[in-house]
Structures are given as structure tokens and as C-alpha cells.
Chain A
Amino acid sequence: MSLVGRSLDRRAKRFVAWNEERIGAARGIKWAMRYVFPDHWSFLLGEVALYSFIVLVITGIFLALFYIPSDHMVTYHGSYAPLQGFRMSEAYQSVVHISLEVPAGLLFRQTHHWAADIFNASILLHLTRVLFTGAYRKPRDLNWMIGLTMLTLGILEGFAGYSLVDDLLSGMGLVIAYAVSMSIPLIGGQLSILLWKGAYPGASVFFPRLEILHVFLIPALLAVLITLHLGMIMRQHHSQFPGRGRRERNVVGTPMWPAYALRSVGLLLAVAGVEFLLGGLIQINPIWQWGPYHVYLSENGAQPDWYIGWLIGALRLMPNFEPRIDGFTIFPNPFWGGAAFPGFVFAVMYLWPWAQRKLTHDYRPHHLLHRPRDRPVHSAIAAAFLSWVLIVFMVGATDRVFFRLDISYQDEIRFWRGGVWLFPIIVFLVTLWVCRWLQRHDPHPLRGWDGQVVEPVQISDPLQDREQQAAGTHAPPAGG
């Protein structure tokens, strides 16, 4: 060892000793450095969400230093000529200022917006992976619920974020949120009056309230839930796919130090890099083009951010059913698409682990995952359910289809009012067939570029036993 190396080595040891005298974390540090991460690409989706959250916090702090949460009306005299002399809220003016005058402001705003879209997308993909591979089963059912709560908060957080801007698009979103909140049976009216401090557009405190929600309450909650989510994963250790030497009682993979730490830092930097490239190169939500919001204005062909799309689809798909009893409107129409539909979807997801236990009578803990094909019925139900939500999501784009392809909007809606029930049945049957075919022939679509051999689950599994009896087949021996 060189002289410099020896000196550095001595200093490092002295530094660690300094820490140990005060914190005494040696056992924890050694444990963390040896913590094993199973290698599978699909395990990175959750990390993408985590790293997007970090990008969101950093870019968000930058934006919060310039944003003014005020509905006070001012006349625009900034650098953007087309808006000269327009009456607008101070909130909107401050975001136009961030976008067009603050140095690097547009980069940070667009990166923030892209990161929010990626944050929610990666949570959803992670959820799908966890659902189809059975990673939500005991002991991870509690963590599954924390994850779902984070998705709910992520959607709310994104919506609150683009509503703060008070451009024409965000105002239209806010009034719809007000209508959905009003539509909650019995308490909706009073609830909305509390949130907005008066009938829409509410009192001047509304924007400060929305800002506190967006920059403090929800991010703080998310930070707490992320900590719990990760803490629980580390206590239980990661789940893993079956494979050579992999058992319920162990976990096989790359230890944290050094290889995994470097790869994961690489992923953090890659996520940040891609998001900054998107923020620099691909325009998103050019709010100066939408103009300021006024209650009496709206824009045609407006589309929300993707994670709100399923709600706009549900609001559009719903027939005009608005039952009234004795002069009272029991269920105002926006309740169905805006509250009942997402409430039902999340309720099903929250109860999924419980229902799976009840239906399969499988109450054991599981650390080995299964491939989607290993449980055809489970995968088919999950695919059908997700396709139901996906169709509603796509209905949110029916007006784009009308503008582009000139297919009558009303015919499209009438078609999907039936299709939304018919297609999931088809998806169910197709998924079932595909899973059984894959079980019989066992090709490996991923092996070519992944290098992983994921073996089928052992057939000591009640659900699979029953499924195989029903199908009259037996699983082929594990494919090599």
C-alpha cells in the first residue's frame, strides 16, 4: 500500500471510530452492507419511483421559492407579448415568470412536471409487477396497502401541483374537483364549502391551502410512508423468484456493498438524467399558451395529466343518472365517475390480499414469487380488472379520436358503455389461455436479454393444485 493509501486508510478508521464512540452503529452498518438484493429487472420499478421522488423534492424546492399562492387579480406586463394587458391571478403570473424569466426556471418546472408523471407511472408499473407475481402476499400485505396509499397520495399530489398554476387548464380541473367534492351524498356541499372556504372559486385562502397541501402535507406523508415501506422491506428482506438455491427461508442476490450500491446510485443518476433531458428537450404543459383561468372561460380538447385520465374517462362514460328523492339529489352525477369509481378500484386493490387468502385458503407467508403464468386464474382476474380500469382510462381520449378520425363521439361512448363490461371478459379468457399455453410450452420471452432463469413454483400450492385439477393438466417439470 502506498503512503497516501495508508494515510487515508488510517483516517477512515479514525472517522469510523469517532462515529462508533457516539452512535455505535457498527452492527447495523455491517448488516446493511451485506444486505442482499435479488437481481431482477422488475425490482427496479419501485426504485425509479423513489428516485423520481428525490428529483421532485429538489426541483420542487426551487419552484416553491418563486411561486406566489394568490388569487389576487393583476394585469400582466411581463416579457411574454401575447399576454400583455391580460387580467390574471398572481399565482398564474408567478408561474409564467418562473417559466419565461427566471434563469433555468423552465428547465426546473418542466423537469418537475415530467418527474411527477414518471413518479406515478413507475408506482403503477411496480404495483402491477407486485400484483402479478404475488409479492403482495403475507407478510407483504401490509406494505402493499402502504404502497396503494402512496399511489393515492401521488395522484392527489400531482393534481394539486398542476392546479396551483391557475392557468385555464388547471382551473377547469379544479372546478371539476369542486363538483366531485360537492357530489358526495349528504355531506358534499358542506365539505366543499369547508375546503374552498365558500362556494367556488372560494376565498383567497384557498390557494395558500392548496400550496400547503402540495408542498408540505402530502410530501411529508409520502416521506413517512416511503420510510415505512423501505423499512418493512428490509426487515422482511426482498422477495425473490424461484431459482437455483432459492428457498422460502433465504434470499439470493447481490449484496449492497459494493456492486449493488453502485448500480443503484447509477439508477438514481439515470432517472435524474432522463428527467432533466425530458425537461430540457420535450415541452410539457406550456402554461403561457393556455392563458389565465376565469370561471367563464374554458378550452376545447383539454386533457389532464395521464394519472387523472381514468377519472375523466369515468365522468364521461357515466350515463346521466342522478337519482332524486323528495327534492333531494341523492347522488349527483359526478359522484359516480369522480368518487365511486376510484373508491371502488382502490377498495378492490386494498382488499386483494385478503380476498386471495380467503379464496385459496392459503394463510402461509410467501417469500418466493410466482410467474404470472404459474397462476392462470389469478393472473386472468387481475388482467381483467386492470383492463376494466384501462378501458375507462382510454374513454378519456374518445374526443381525441373524434377530432382525429371523425368517429362520432356519441357512438363511441355508447359503444364503450357496453364494451367496458364485455372486453374484460375477453381479456380474462385470453389471459387464461395464454397462461396455460405458456405453462405447457414454457418459452422464455425474457431470457434472451435478461439472462435469468425463473423456474416455476413448486406444485405444493393449493391454488395451483386446484387450477390444474380444473384444467385437467399437470404442470410440466420445471423448464430449464
Chain B
Amino acid sequence: MSNLIGRLLALLTVWRLSRRSDSEPSAQEQPDISPLEDPSKREVPNSRKAELVVAILVTVGAASGFAFTAVYILNSHANQLLGVTMGGAFVALAAAAIVAGLHVVPQETSVEERDSLLEEGEPEEIVEMVESGGEGVSRRVLLTGAAGVAGIGLTTTVGSAIASLGPRMRNIHKVPWSRGVPIVNEQGKIFHASEIQVGSFYTGLPAGHFWEDLGAPLLLVRLPRHYIHLPPTRPLAKWAPHGIMAYSKICTHAGCAISLYRYPVYAPTSVGSPAFTCPCHYSTFLPGYGGTVLFGPAGRPLPQLPVTINPNGHLVAGGHFDEDVGPAWFDVRVPKNFNRNG
């Protein structure tokens, strides 16, 4: 084996040197290749050793293929062994094919002429042939125009059919929350106000509604009074009873569920306030400031939902969102008196 490699290396070196001495800079573009420059050659390797190597590699490939079947029968969930035997079969056969391609079959360098793609006079001839099909037709403009209209007609037909793919946009603003809808956890158990602890966040869902709508999930947090700076349009009794606030859990940037909460202070910034962060593109919102965007690509604050603690201490929605939840589109409803800083 090493003998073979040694010989091949020697051959390669000789070949390389011979090429290097040949490859003097050619003067200018020459119409034909001079005999000195003709790279064509054909060598017949006639190497019994290489043939033996190929035979061994093919046998190894076949054995590896049988091994796959054996592994499959004995333990079809041994993924590593299945992969090694299947991959091994392919790799061994690949090596066999490559060794055969380089050292067993005749090695040939040949020169093929390129015919030119554009032939003189051909385009004219084709156009004339096409035009000869209209020979004797007198109302060409009329017919071409009619065909054009028919084309537009057919396109419209197909275009109309596309409309049946989906409904119109009517329900896009629909959200399951309205006054009195109980807020439950992922197990369907209604939240008691005392469960909402300072320093953590909870996922709230609408009892009796579909949970997989973008409008459904809420983030519930409780903040100490000194962190709460809601805009004057959101009186605390309705929007933050006992410091409990509810926001849409769906990021207003690209719709992921927000799942990072920094309390008491969002560390990387100097803002002395807790913050929500979306793990997809790191939009960061301030629950103490009505969901204002602190950082990241989100273009709208996080929609806030008024909450009510009912007489037995359970949490229910105190109203509805007055803006759209989730990612923006052309006609998305933004909060009243909206400005970027909340």
C-alpha cells in the first residue's frame, strides 16, 4: 500500500515539474493550439495494485451494507450504528469509485471545441419563419389586441380563484378578552390575586376560549407602587389593582411569546425599572410604564389589558384591549394618543 502511494507521489511530482517547465507565458491569443501547447494525453494506468484496492473497498462497502441490515434486525433504534454502517457503506464505495476513476481506468485529457451559440443570420431567419405564419392575415392589430384582452381575462380568472384560499380580513382584530372573562393558568385553574407575586411573571389565558389565538395569552405581573408610572389615561384602580397588571404576551414586533423578565432592574440599562424581553429579537418593554418599548425592533408598546380582582379574590379581565395585539400590518390599530415613548 505505502509502496503504491510512494509511486503515485513520485509520478505526481514528475508530472507537476513537467507541467511547470511547459507553462511558459503564451504570447498572445493564438487561433489554434501549437503542438507544443496541446494538452491532450491518454494514459492507461494498468495498475494491478489499484485494482486490488478498489476490490477491497467495494467488499468493505458491501460488508458495511450487510452490517446495516444486521443492526436493523438486532436493534433498529441504535441510531449511531445504523448511521455508521449506512454511511460507511457509501463512503467505502465512494472511495472505490474515486480510486478507480483516478488509477484504474484510462486517464485522459482531451480538448473539445466549443461551437458558437449565436450563428450569423439565425435570429433573422427564425423571426422570418415566425412571421411567415401570419402571411395573408390582414387584421393583425385587431387579433393581437383581442389576444391581449383574452390574456388579461384569463389572468383575472386565476386571480379571483386565489381569493378562495382564505377569508377576508374581517376577524383579524378579534381577541377573546372582554370584561369579566376569568384569567386562568396553563392548567385551566383561575388565578387568585395572591398567587401573583412580586418578582415573577405568570402566563394568563382566557377561560372558555381558544388559547392558540395571538390575542389569548397574557403576561401577569405585580409591581410595587414606586415602579408603576402608567399614563394618566389608565387609572390604577382599573389597570393596576394592588399593583397587578396584565399585558399581551405576544410581542408587537414579530409575534413570539415574551418569556424573559428582569426584576427589579433591567440590568444592561440604567433604567431603574423591571422589563420584559422577547427571546426572538430582544424587543424590551417596560411593564411599569404601560408597556413602553425600551429597546429593540418593536414599533409599538405592549398592549395592556385592564384587570379586576373580583370579590372572592380571583382575577378577571376588566375590559378589552383598545389596540391590536401581535405583529403590525398596514391597518393595525395603535393605542390612542400614541407616541413611541408611551
Contacts and interface: CB of A to CB of B under 8 A. Distances in A.
B90 A270 contact: yes
B217 interface: yes
Interface stretch (B98-106, B127-135, B224-232, B309-317): B98-106
B114 A179 contact: no
Contacts of A106: 77, 79
Nearest to B20: A480
Interface in A299-341: 299-302, 312, 315-316, 318-322, 324, 327-330, 332-334, 337-338
B110 interface: yes
A266 B169 contact: no
A198 B171 contact: yes
Contacts of B93: 269, 273
Interface stretch (B137-145, B192-200, B233-241, B324-332): B324-332
A236 to B, nearest CB: 7
B42 to A, nearest CB: 10
B256 to A, nearest CB: 5
B202 to A, nearest CB: 11
A409 interface: yes
Interface string A85-113: 00000000000000010011011001100
A180 B15 CA distance: 57
B112 interface: yes
B260 interface: yes
A408 B267 CA distance: 9
A410 B295 contact: yes
B14 to A, nearest CB: 12
Nearest to B164: A194
B83 A276 contact: yes
B48 interface: no
B205 interface: yes
A175 interface: yes
A74 interface: no
A7 interface: no
Interface string B168-186: 1101101000000000001
Nearest to B255: A175
Given A175-B256, A244-B23, A322-B299, A104 B109 contact: no
A263 B102 contact: yes
B16 A451 contact: yes
Given A245-B37, A263-B97, A333-B253, A281 B80 contact: yes
A298 B328 contact: no
Contacts of A281: 80, 83-84, 87
Contacts of A250: 33, 111-114
B168 A245 contact: no
B279 A302 contact: yes
Interface residues of B, number: 107
Contacts of A103: 72, 76-77
Contact of A237 (B79, B88, B112, B162): B112
B214 A295 contact: yes
A198 B167 contact: yes
Contacts of B95: 266, 270
A319 B166 contact: no
Interface stretch (A127-135, A181-189, A217-225, A423-431): A181-189
A183 B91 contact: no
A126 interface: no
A175 to B, nearest CB: 4
Interface in B11-38: 12, 15-16, 19-20, 22-26, 28-30, 33, 37-38
A399 B296 CA distance: 13
Nearest to B84: A280
Interface in B211-268: 211-214, 216-217, 249-250, 253-260, 268
Given A252-B109, A270-B90, A315-B281, A478 B26 contact: yes
B108 A254 contact: yes
A197 B169 CA distance: 10
Contacts of A228: none
Interface stretch (A61-69, A153-161, A453-461): A453-461
Contact of B24 (A186, A196, A254, A480): A480
Contacts of A327: 334
A16 interface: no
B172 to A, nearest CB: 5
Given A259-B108, A260-B101, A316 B282 contact: yes
Given A179-B327, A269-B97, A251 B112 contact: yes
B24 A183 contact: no
Interface in B258-299: 258-260, 268-269, 278-283, 293, 295-299
Interface of B: 12, 15-16, 19-20, 22-26, 28-30, 33, 37-40, 72, 76-77, 79-84, 86-98, 100-102, 105-114, 117, 162-163, 165-169, 171-172, 174, 186, 203, 205, 211-214, 216-217, 249-250, 253-260, 268-269, 278-283, 293, 295-300, 326-332, 334, 340
Given A194-B162, A277-B84, A334-B328, 19 more contacts: A34-B112, A35-B112, A103-B77, A110-B83, A193-B166, A199-B172, A201-B214, A249-B113, A252-B110, A254-B108, A254-B110, A259-B101, A272-B87, A276-B86, A297-B259, A330-B330, A332-B327, A451-B12, A451-B15
7 contacts: A199-B171, A201-B214, A273-B92, A315-B280, A334-B254, A451-B16, A453-B19
Q: Which 5 A-B pairs have the closest CB atoms?
A: A280-B83, A322-B299, A273-B90, A103-B76, A262-B101
